[in-house]
Amino acid sequence: MKRAKLLAAPYIVWMALFTIIPLAVVIYFAFTDNATGQFTFGNIIGLKQYLPTIADSLWIAIVSALCCLAIGYPVAYAIAHSSPAKQRILMLLLLLPMCTSFLLRILALVALLEDTGIINQMLGLVGIGPITMLRTPTAVIFGMVYNFLPYMVFPLYSVLTKINPGLVEAAQDLGCNSFQVLTKILLPLSVPGIISGVTMVFVPAVSTFYISKKLGGTGTAMIGDVIESQFKASDNFNVGAAMSLGLMLIVFICMGVMNKFTDNDEVTLV
């Protein structure tokens, strides 16, 4: 037991230095006044003016997660039912964009979506456009789906590969069509992967700021943008810390709600 505690010591030190202490600093600034340093709830109460921004951030993050699910589920299913050699190639192709700098990927999307970008130039060849795609909520969602889609595919793939093909064959032998197989066999058995994928997409999507800054307009500011502006432009660490604490609570609540669906290891097929 002592040896196990000794081996865990580096991890405990790491958690204390880079998790507990920073969290304590955030809580301290969130409940102190910027001018006097006195204890106050003013920073927390002042967050009510950012409720529309919080609602927009949650809406964009939820839509992005659902879009990733709609795209990622067929992709994960196709990869899971490919030969081992093809699986390795397809997974490599899915990973390749993540090997590129996040900044470069966003700038590439700007070049694609701007009014004089590649897409509008191609549309202009057939007499369409230019279409305003940049500086819109749709562009922000598109950027999030593009960057966070692998986070949805990987957990779905790991779950779908473990589903016994005999269950699908048995359902088909009993007269189930493809839609019934999907809704009564595949989806119920892949719920853990769906919850994991939605969580892995929702958490970075709701807290991002660079994607919304580059692809969105003035009306698509998200929580991360407000936090960044408080720490940089306004130099108001207290309000920024309160926003960070509020975002942390939102993420914890959403993760807790999602984890409720995966508390039970057994899945009932209806």
Q: Is residue 98 part of a domain?
A: yes
Mean pLDDT for the stretch of residues 128-140: 84
Angle between helices 137-160 and 102-113 (to 10 degrees): 130
Q: Is residue 25 part of a domain?
A: no
In this prediction the pTM is: 0.84
User: Cα-flanking dihedrals φ and ψ of residue 97, to 5°?
Assistant: -60, -30
CA 256 centroid distance within chain: 15
Q: Is residue 57 part of a domain?
A: yes
Q: Is residue 138 part of a domain?
A: yes
Query: What is the structure's pLDDT at 22?
Result: 86
Give 32's strand partners. 39
Query: What is the structure's pLDDT at 17?
Result: 83
Q: Which two tokens stand for residue 190?
A: 């892949």
Q: What is the CATH number of the domain that holds 101?
A: 1.10.3720.10
**255-270 pLDDT, tens digit each:** 787 777 665 544 444 4
Cα distances (angstroms) measured from residue 174 to each of 107, 164, 165, 190, 267 = 52, 16, 14, 21, 20
Query: What is the structure's pLDDT at 111?
Result: 87
Question: Is 65 a residue whose pLDDT tops 70?
Answer: yes
The overall average pLDDT reported for the chain is: 85
Contacts of 156 by beta carbon, 8 Å cutoff, 6+ apart: 72, 73, 76, 77, 190, 193, 194, 197
Region of poorest pLDDT, from 22-26, 228-232, 259-263: 259-263
Question: Is 235 a residue whose pLDDT tops 80?
Answer: no
User: Cα-flanking dihedrals φ and ψ of residue 63, to 5°?
Assistant: -60, -40
CB 243 within 8 A of CB 226: yes
- Residue 75's identity, in one-letter code, is V
Question: Is 239 a residue whose pLDDT tops 80?
Answer: yes
CA 182 centroid distance within chain: 25
**52-62 pLDDT, tens digit each:** 888 989 999 99
Counting the structural domains of the chain, the total is 1
Query: What is the structure's pLDDT at 267?
Result: 44
Query: What is the structure's pLDDT at 194?
Result: 92
Q: Is residue 103 part of a domain?
A: yes
Query: What is the structure's pLDDT at 234?
Result: 63
Cα–Cα distance, 253 to 218 (Å, whole number):
28
Query: What is the structure's pLDDT at 212?
Result: 87
Q: Is residue 1 part of a domain?
A: no
- Domain region containing 105: 52-262
- CA dihedral in degrees (20, 203, 251, 263; nearest 10)? -100
Cα–Cα distance, 14 to 9 (Å, whole number):
9
Q: Is residue 251 part of a domain?
A: yes
Q: Is residue 188 part of a domain?
A: yes
In this structure, what DSSP letter does residue 114 have? S
Give 39's strand partners. 32
Task: Please give the helix or strand (H or E) that residue 65 lies within, else none.
Answer: helix 51-80
